[in-house]
Structures are given as C-alpha cells and as structure tokens.
Amino acid sequence: MALDSLDPREFIRTKRDGLAHDPAALRAFVAGCAAREIPDYQASAWLMAAFLNGLDASETDALTLAFLHSGRVFDWKALGVAADKHSTGGVGDKISLALAPLVAACGVPVPMVSGRGLGHTGGTLDKLESIPGFQTRLEPAAMTEQMRKLGIVMVGQGPDLAPADGLFYSLRDVTATVEFEPFIVSSIVSKKIAEGARAIVYDVKCGSGAFMKTPEAARALARRLVGTTQALGAAASACITDMSWPIGWAVGNALEVREAWQVLRGQPVPGTRELTLTLAAEMVRLAGAALNLDAARVRVTHVLDEGHAAERFLAMAHAQGGDTRALEHGEPFHAAPKVVELQAPRAGILAGCDCFALGEAVVAMGAGRLAMEDAVDPRVGIVMTRERGDKLAKGDTFAKLHLAASDGAIAARVAGCFTFADQSPATLPADLVLERVEG
C-alpha cells in the first residue's frame, strides 16, 4: 500500500476497534511517520491503541520489517553468516565483552551494535568506554573495513540504523507505551537485522533484576523474539537465564571489564564463563559453523582456552583506539578512591538478592544513568567476594564497594539488598540458563 492511499485516521480506528492491520498498511503508516508526513500525534494515538488492544505475531513481524526498511541495512554475506547476541538487560551483565571476540575468533563475523545503560541495568558501550580511548562511534565505512580485517566491531547505534524505531521509541518514552512486548520485540529485532546479523541468540533475563520477573513473561518474550527474527529470515534461539543474583563477581563499568578479561584469559569466573560459553555455542551453531550444540561447545571452549578470544578482543580494542595496557598488565585500572567492605549482619547463608534494588543502588553510586545525558563514573561498583549459597559467620566480608567518596548511607543501602537465611537457596545451573527456546 502506498502512503498516499493510507488514511491515518482509518488506520488508527482499525486498531482502536481491536482489528488486525494489513501488513502493507502497517508498513505505509511507519514509513509515513518516519518521513514526517504523518504527525507525531497520530503516531502516539496509534501507539496507545496498539498497547491496549494488542498486536498479533504477524503485525509484530510487519512492524519490525517497517522499522528495518526505514534505514540502512548492513550486509556481511561476503564474510560469512554474521551472528549477534541481545540481552534484555540485567545487573552485572558483561557477557558481550568476552562473547563477541570469542565468536569472532571461531570465524563467525560479529557486527555487534550495543546500547548504553539506562535505569537499573548497565550497558555494553559504557563498559567498553571505561577502556581509555576506546571509540564506540564508527562510520559505516570504518565498520566495514574493521569487519573485513577482524570480523568484529562493537559499536553504538548509528542514526541511520532503523531510524523509524528511534522515532517510535522516543514517542513511546513520553506516552507511557514502553512496556509492551510487540514494541520491545520489533525494536530489538529490527536493529539486529539492520546491523546485518543473520544468526541471533537472545538472552532473556528472568528474576528480580530483570524486566521480566516471571518465567512465563520471559518465555513469551523469548518466543516472540525468536519467532519474529525467523519470520524476517534469520536464524534465532533464546536462552532464559537467571537474573535473581548479579552475574559473576562485579557490577560497575571498569570492574566488569576486568572480570570479562579474566574470562578471556580462561579463568573460572562463576556464572560469567559458563554463560559466555553457552551463548557462544548457540551463536556458532546458528551461524552454521558447527553441526550441533555439543560440537559448538567443544569448539568455543577450545578457542577460549587457547587464548584466541583474548587476542581478538585486544585486536578489536586497539583498532577502536583503546589502550589496554593497564588491563593486560593487571595494573590499577580506574581504581576507586574508596573501597568499603560489606559484612554479614548475622550468621547464615548468603541466600537472596533484590537485584533491581542493587542495580539502582549502583546507578546511584555513579555507575549508570537516570537520564541519557548523565555522565557515568567508570570506577565505581560492587565486587562480590563470596558466592550465593556460601555460609558466613556474623561480620564476615561478602562484598566490596568501590566508591567515589565515603558514603555510609550507600553501603547500608547496598547491604540491605542481600538476605541471609538458614537454608541454602535452590541450586542454579552453572551457566544460569533456566530454559532454551528455539521457536
């Protein structure tokens, strides 16, 4: 349907009345909004109608396609089947940092476009930028050049990638229509496909620190992400992973980069190493670089333990201007001025964490942002010194806070996020994966 034959009022009325959109009409509406021919007030009336009356799978697919075609679509076919991972956002989620170079080191191109932290979750770009000099803004020509040479880039979203999604996202933000699965799905998938990924694994977080609090909600989102990705012609799978406890040891930008470097060096960081290997195996298999998941797992483990992922990480960091000397030599790397120990207020088992509150506390320390304009302090954060399920005596240290300055209130606030119990919590899988979804 051409835009000139679309009546925006008729289109809005269709969804207002709970009817399904014709895919061509949906594409014409999005194109009209992106071309600024349909005004924002019509777009936002439609957003609310869709939020309240729903969009089915085929409408979600059509919306995703419309976002995709509103801008540039990268094509890496000449290099192979490009792969990527998207996480729905968690606390201490530094998985991408080791994962992307690991998969690239397996010969699978990884054109990773990431975001910044907002609200209680961190963002990969903020973490990368704690490496001195690291540039996350690359022109398309530079991206293409680096992809040819190294098979990996880790960058922010350029303005020409799914610009209609950018417009709709900014309207969703001001019209209370953010938390709606079809909008979330179309926003995520359109950008991944636009960056040229054709094999995508979704890490759908579930638990106190995730947007999806229940397995049901996480499963529904995972299915729709996989379904829409497949409908757009790419291979996809999803892992629903635990987010009831911070991933690995560290939360905070430079602290997480150090932890990811430990993983790249082959060290056994609990949770982080295993989840990195699991998601890498998914990507390698989806990209067709291994016959099955078991073979993929063997391959990625070997490549990680041989140090090829670490090499690829350094090559990428250097290509993007990063100075990795402090990181490589284990020297002080954005050391925080003040480190405070958190101690167990009672004897017992370190059992629970309100990850959402923890994420917000770490943001309040300066590690994240409440508004997109806020600056981020790379130094601050928390490092766990004991694990979930450990038995502690009263007064035992279980974590260290890295702070910009002394702050008793924040220490109490962070300590209050953890609970101690007499019984052990249920055991989690080593790679934190609760469930897989293949669509």
- Choosing from 2, 5, 36, 41, the residue that interacts with its own copies (CB under 8 A) is 41
Q: Which is nearer to its own copies, 48 or 415 (CB)?
A: 48
Binding residues among 176-235 for its own copies as defined by CB under 8 A: 176-177
The DSSP 8-state label assigned to residue 366 in this structure reads: I
Q: Give every CB contact of residue 153 below 8 A, 6+ residues apart in sequence.
A: 110, 111, 112, 138, 143, 146, 147, 316, 320
Catalytic residue flag (residue 302): no
From the CB of residue 394, how many other CB atoms can be counted at a distance below 10 Å? 11
Rg of the chain over all Cα atoms, to the nearest angstrom: 22
| Helix, strand and coil in the chain, % to nearest 5 | 45, 15, 40
The reply to whether 36 sits near its own copies by the rule CB under 8 A is no
Q: How many residues bind its own copies (CB under 8 A)?
A: 26
Give the residue among 347, 357, 354, 356 at the shortest CA–CA distance from 390: 347
Give the 3-state secondary structure of residue 359: helix
Q: Which is nearer to its own copies, 29 or 202 (CB)?
A: 29
- Choosing from 6, 8, 275, 384, the residue that interacts with its own copies (CB under 8 A) is 8
CB of 63 to its own copies, least distance (A): 17
Catalytic residue flag (residue 86): yes
Q: Which is nearer to its own copies, 56 or 173 (CB)?
A: 173
* Catalytic option among 44, 187, 190, 208: 187
Rounded to 5°, the CA angle 311-316-318 comes to 95
Q: Give every CB contact of residue 124 below 8 A, 6+ residues apart in sequence.
A: 94, 96, 97, 112, 114, 115, 154
- Choosing from 1, 16, 80, 396, the residue that interacts with its own copies (CB under 8 A) is 16
Q: Which listed range, 45-53, 260-268, 305-313, 427-435, lies at the site for its own copies (CB under 8 A)?
A: 45-53
* Catalytic option among 61, 84, 126, 165: 165
The reply to whether 28 sits near its own copies by the rule CB under 8 A is no
Q: Give every CB contact of residue 403 below 8 A, 6+ residues apart in sequence.
A: 336, 337, 338, 339, 340, 365, 380, 410
Distance separating alpha carbons of residues 124 and 122, to the nearest angstrom: 7
The reply to whether 25 sits near its own copies by the rule CB under 8 A is no
- Choosing from 6, 34, 43, 147, the residue that interacts with its own copies (CB under 8 A) is 43
Give the 3-state secondary structure of residue 61: helix
Q: Are 25 and 6 in contact (CB under 8 A)?
A: yes
The reply to whether 54 sits near its own copies by the rule CB under 8 A is no
CB of 49 to its own copies, least distance (A): 5
CB of 357 to its own copies, least distance (A): 21
Strand partners, 403: 338
The reply to whether 274 sits near its own copies by the rule CB under 8 A is no
Q: Which listed range, 48-56, 298-306, 331-339, 415-423, lies at the site for its own copies (CB under 8 A)?
A: 48-56
Q: Which is nearer to its own copies, 86 or 172 (CB)?
A: 172
The reply to whether 339 sits near its own copies by the rule CB under 8 A is no
End-to-end CA separation in angstroms for the chain: 30
Catalytic residue flag (residue 16): no
Residue type, 245: W
Q: Per the structure block, which two tokens stand in for 251?
A: 């939360």
CB of 180 to its own copies, least distance (A): 10
Residue type, 377: D
Catalytic residue flag (residue 186): no
Q: Which is nearer to its own copies, 47 or 380 (CB)?
A: 47
The reply to whether 47 sits near its own copies by the rule CB under 8 A is yes
Binding residues among 160-179 for its own copies as defined by CB under 8 A: 171, 173-177
CB of 52 to its own copies, least distance (A): 5
How far is the CA of 158 from the CAs of 102, 138, 194, in angstroms?
24, 8, 11
Q: Which is nearer to its own copies, 166 or 322 (CB)?
A: 166
Catalytic residue flag (residue 165): yes
Could you tell me whether strands 110-114 and 152-156 are parallel, antiparallel, or unpaired per DSSP bridges?
parallel
Query: Catalytic residue positions?
Result: 86, 165, 172, 187, 191
Binding site for its own copies (CB under 8 A): 8-10, 12-13, 16, 39-49, 51-53, 171, 173-177
